[in-house]
């Protein structure tokens, strides 16, 4: 937020974090992981959350005036399960889950992409390594506004591959995207509804370079159509016929020079 020009006061208003804490993290240049903190205390509702979630998701298919209230869900928990906790715990969880489900259903497709915004995805390709045909993976970073794209070849799709590929591309082009939209299956992270779990290595790299990351919905290739086309283009123009790869670092340097 600070890199985008927001003042400390505006960051405090949006996040609720105190200004001394904001100043401390803005001044940091080392985002290495800290010692693990104590885990939050488990809730008595944890074993019954799938039961509650099933009710709330089922409510999405019925008339809105006949959906469950938190009170009715609490009554069903007492009648149909062994839950013996209080109503307040159920009410707080139901309120949070309803907000998450509602937000997940309010998705839209981005049709206009600003300069500096990028999309990232992996593609599969066969190459000749040591005279043998081997299935490998190539990371593509595309810029919809300019229709430019870059790719790097790897043996897998891990967070290490994502970070190395992005770093090499950043250094080649001499700049960093403001935001990158990732496929849900990449090693960067995974999205379920509005909840995103990012790989720790990628999270630290993102903090270091200062770009934002968002994640497409599962099985929603239309949300990142530009990079999907770039994956096809790379496979057809850079990897057909199957290239011989003896030194992957030299091969990747050559890939960057061909754009």
Work out the percent of the chain whose per-residue pLDDT is above 90. Answer: 62
Mean pLDDT of 7-15: 92
Find out whether 167 and 201 touch, Cβ atoms under 8 Å: no
Question: Is 191 a residue whose pLDDT tops 80?
Answer: no
Task: Give the C-alpha separation, 79 to 85, whole Å.
Answer: 13
Among 51, 48, 93, CA closest to 70 = 93
Domain with CATH 3.30.420.10 in the chain: 117-257
Instruction: Quote the pLDDT of residue 107.
Output: 52
Question: Is 100 a residue whose pLDDT tops 90?
Answer: no
Question: Is 244 a residue whose pLDDT tops 70?
Answer: yes
pLDDT confidence tier of residue 222, bands split at 50, 70 and 90: low
pLDDT confidence tier of residue 138, bands split at 50, 70 and 90: very high
* 173, containing H or E segment: helix 159-173
Question: Is 109 a residue whose pLDDT tops 60?
Answer: no
Mean pLDDT of 192-201: 78
Question: Parallel, antiparallel, or unpaired: how do β-strands 189-192 and 132-143 relate?
Answer: unpaired
Question: Is 193 a residue whose pLDDT tops 90?
Answer: no
Q: Which tokens is 106 given?
A: 């309010």
* 74, containing H or E segment: helix 70-80
Instruction: Quote the pLDDT of residue 74.
Output: 95
At the topology level, CATH places domain 117-257 in Nucleotidyltransferase; domain 5 (3.30.420)
Instruction: Quote the pLDDT of residue 34.
Output: 67
Surface-to-core class of residue 16, CB atoms within 10 Å of its CB (0-12 exposed, 13-18 middle, 19+ buried): exposed
Question: Is 95 a residue whose pLDDT tops 70?
Answer: yes
Instruction: Quote the pLDDT of residue 4.
Output: 87
Question: Is 113 a residue whose pLDDT tops 90?
Answer: no
Q: What are the residues facing 132 on neighbouring strands?
A: 129
Work out the percent of the chain whose per-residue pLDDT is above 70. Answer: 86
pLDDT 10s digits, 202-214: 999 999 999 999 8
C-alpha gyration radius of the chain = 23
Instruction: Quote the pLDDT of residue 231.
Output: 93
What predicted TM-score, i.e. pTM, was given to this entire model?
0.58
């Amino acid at each position: 937020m600070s890199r985008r020009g927001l003042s400390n006061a505006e960051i405090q208003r949006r996040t609720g974090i105190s200004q001394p804490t904001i100043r401390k993290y803005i001044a940091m240049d080392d985002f290495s992981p800290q010692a693990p903190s104590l885990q939050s205390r488990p809730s008595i509702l944890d074993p019954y959350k799938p039961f509650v979630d099933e009710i709330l998701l089922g409510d999405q298919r019925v008339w809105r005036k006949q959906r469950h209230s938190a009170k009715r869900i609490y009554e069903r928990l007492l009648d149909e399960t062994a839950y013996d906790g209080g109503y307040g715990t159920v009410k707080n969880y139901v309120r949070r889950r309803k907000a998450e489900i509602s937000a997940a259903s309010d998705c839209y497709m981005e049709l206009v992409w600003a300069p500096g915004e990028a999309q990232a995805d992996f593609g599969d390709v066969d190459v000749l390594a040591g005279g043998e045909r081997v299935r490998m993976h190539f990371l593509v970073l595309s810029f919809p506004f300019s229709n430019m794209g870059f790719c790097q070849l790897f043996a897998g799709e891990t967070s290490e591959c994502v970070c190395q590929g992005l770093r090499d591309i950043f250094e080649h082009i001499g700049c960093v995207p403001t935001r990158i939209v990732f496929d849900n299956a990449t090693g960067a992270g995974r999205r379920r509804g509005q909840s995103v779990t990012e790989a720790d290595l990628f999270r630290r790299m993102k903090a270091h370079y200062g770009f934002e990351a968002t994640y497409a919905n599962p099985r929603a290739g239309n949300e990142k159509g530009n990079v999907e086309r770039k994956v096809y283009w790379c496979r057809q123009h850079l990897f057909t016929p199957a290239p011989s790869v003896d030194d992957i670092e030299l091969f990747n340097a050559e890939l960057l020079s061909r754009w």
